[in-house]
Structures are given as structure tokens and as C-alpha cells.
Structure 1
Amino acid sequence: MGLSSFAVANNDEGLSEQIRQLKNEALDLNRDLTLLERELVYASPQTNIFVSVDVGTPIRLVDINLTIDGDHVGYHFYTDQEFEALTKGGIQRLYTGNLASGRHVLEATITGYDPLGKDYQKTTSYTFTKGAGRKMVEMQVVDDLNKQQHKFEFREWNQQ
């Protein structure tokens, strides 16, 4: 009878170890699910598009037309006072909306006047990737004095 009680004790120890491993796996899975739930519940699909211009630019910005993924999402006509605020270092929010995670194409058409007063229109495209958190994109309208028009630079911020 001594041999069979040894076999039962070994089976109990093996079973206890399996139960301990299953508990640890369940705790790990629960932790992963909690993190995923937190990311899904508190993630923000919000996207913001901003515009800024070079300080003291001799080029006059008249208006901006904005599309994202081919859909028109915004238009702004600048008064003299608004444009002056931008040339003093201001930044303007052109768009706030909810976008799904993934790649998006921003297209902006700007109308303006060069330093000689000649009007022009210029379009730029920019592709960005939206993650689970908030996304902010700044379109900087920068002087290109060689061409006497604007050029565009983009900056992105992700907020978790």
C-alpha cells in the first residue's frame, strides 16, 4: 500500500502544478484583456488639423479649403485681422473630427497673394497614419521667397 500512496501523492503534486500554471495563465490573460479594454474605452478617435504661417510673412493668405480622404471637411476665409494674428505666431484649428485608425490623406488648397500682389492657388497633399489615440497635425505655411509663394511643412503629434 505504500507504493500506491506514493503514486497518488505524485499525481496530486502534478495536478497542483497544472492548476498553478492555469491560474497564472488566467491572470496574464485577465491583465491583457484589462489593458485592451482600457485602450478601447479611453482611446480617442479625435483628429485635429491646425494651420500656422511664418511670422511676418510678406505673402498674404486668403483662404484654405481642406479635404480628408477626398471628403470636404473645412473651409476658412481669412480676414485681415485673423491673418495678422497668424503672422504674429498664432495657430488656428481648421478641423476637429473623428477618424478611424489607419492611413488618411489630407489635401489643402490655399489661395493667396504673393509679395507683388499677384494671386495664386496652390494645393498640397499629406498622408498620415492615425492610431488609437488622439492625432494632431499642423500644416505650416512657410515662405518660399525664391518662388514668391508658400510651401508646406507638416508636424504630427500623437496623444495616448
Structure 2
Amino acid sequence: MALLTRFHQALAGLALAAALLPAFAQTAAPPAAPNTLDARIQDVKGDVIRLNRDLLVLEEELLFPANTQVALFVSMDVGKLFQLDSVQIKLDDKPVANYLYTPLEVSALHRGGVQRVYLGNLRAGSHELVAFFTGQGPHERDYKRGATVKFDKGTEPKYIELRIKDSTGKLQPEFDVKVWQ
């Protein structure tokens, strides 16, 4: 709760700084010709964008501190044997993510893209992750498979990748969970 209060105080300070920025710019610079006014406005806009970026980074650090952070990613290797429709993820028997994929998103995954499907907080200790993948498998049949992994969360952030890959030997997709160190 103290972190949230400090976050709100920092947010109020940044809002005040953003409000005072135009007034400061007017007092710091001598009166200028109209053509340089546009340049000053663009500079102020750039400053506001940088402040916004810094604020978003601060917000993520406060909401998801590194010692409790867990991030889940979805990736595909080749994907000729499975056409992904959706993913449902449960952490410790609680649904944390449900995602329906568009054909464009599936295409991006086929080209090597990786999607962060969940970012949240977990206490230290043992946890269980269950992921369900639905889509079309070989011969355009409906396919639903699950993957389960038990992992220990320490004080470091935990990154987990849910990989979908083709098994050409079995002529079916495989669903793998990799816990990154």
C-alpha cells in the first residue's frame, strides 16, 4: 500500500511538472519569432512524451516488482500441423489469461514472433501452470491439448515460454513449457 501511495505522489509530481513545463519554457527563453515558437512547442511535446514513457516504466516497476514478477509468453515453431485459435492459462487453478488469436497474429507467431500473454505477481514458493491450446490439428480436425508444469518461484523474476512445435515424426503438434532461468 505504501508503494501505491508513493506511486500516486510521484504521479502528482509529474503532472505538476508537466503543467509547469510550458510556463517554465516561457520564462527561460526570451520572446521569439513565430517560426521558433513551433520548434519550442515540438520540444515541449517531446519532453511530455519522454515523461510519459518514464511514468509507464515507473508504474510497471511499482505494480510488478521484480521479486514477485512472472511473465508468460507464447511462441510457435513452424506450425504446419496446428492452426492456433486460442490459449487459456491457469496459475494455481485460477484463470489468469484467455486469448483468441486472429489470423494475422497467428501469422506473426509463425514468422517467429513471441507474444507476452500474461504479466503478474506471484509469491515465492511452488506453483503450477496449466495451459490449454485449441485450434485445428492435422487433417483440419479440432484439437485441444494441455500442457502442465510445476515450478518454484524465488526472489527473481520468472519467465515462462509456452511453445507450440511440430513433431514431424509423430505428424502432430507438441506443446512444450520452458521455464527460463
TM-score by length of 1: 0.67
Return 5+ residue gaps in structure 2 as ranges. Answer: 1-64
Is 1:131 the equivalent of 2:177?
A: no
Q: Matched residues in 2 for 1:58 and 1:43: separation?
A: 37
Seen in structure 2, the aligned counterparts of structure 1 residues 157 and 146 have a Cα distance that, compared at 3 Å, is: closer
Residue matched to 1:20 = none
Structural RMSD (CA): 1.7
For residue 180 of structure 2, the aligned residue among 151, 157, 160 is: 157
Q: Deviations over 1:55-114 (max 9, x none)?
A: 353420110010000000001111000000000000011110000011110001111111
> Counterpart amino acid of 1:141?
I
In the alignment, is the contact (CA less than 8 A) between 2:122 and 2:153 conserved in 1?
yes
Q: Matched residues in 2 for 1:149 and 1:106: separation?
A: 23
Shift of residue 156 of structure 1? Answer: 2.1
Is 1:140 the equivalent of 2:163?
A: yes
In the alignment, is the contact (CA less than 8 A) between 1:114 and 1:148 conserved in 2?
no
Q: Matched residues in 2 for 1:150 and 1:56: separation?
A: 8
Q: Deviations over 1:42-64 (max 9, x none)?
A: 75201001110113534201100
Residue matched to 2:97 = 74
Shift of residue 151 of structure 1? Answer: 1.4
Q: Matched residues in 1 for 2:66 and 2:83: separation?
A: 39
> Counterpart amino acid of 2:109?
L
Find the residue that maps to 2:140 and give its secondary structure.
coil
Greater Rg, structure 1 or structure 2?
Answer: 1
Residue matched to 2:83 = 60
Q: Matched residues in 2 for 1:115 and 1:127: separation?
A: 29
Q: Matched residues in 1 for 2:98 and 2:171: separation?
A: 24
Find the residue that maps to 1:86 and give its secondary structure.
helix
TM-score by length of 2: 0.60
Q: Matched residues in 2 for 1:43 and 1:95: separation?
A: 15
> Counterpart amino acid of 1:138?
E
> Counterpart amino acid of 1:79?
T
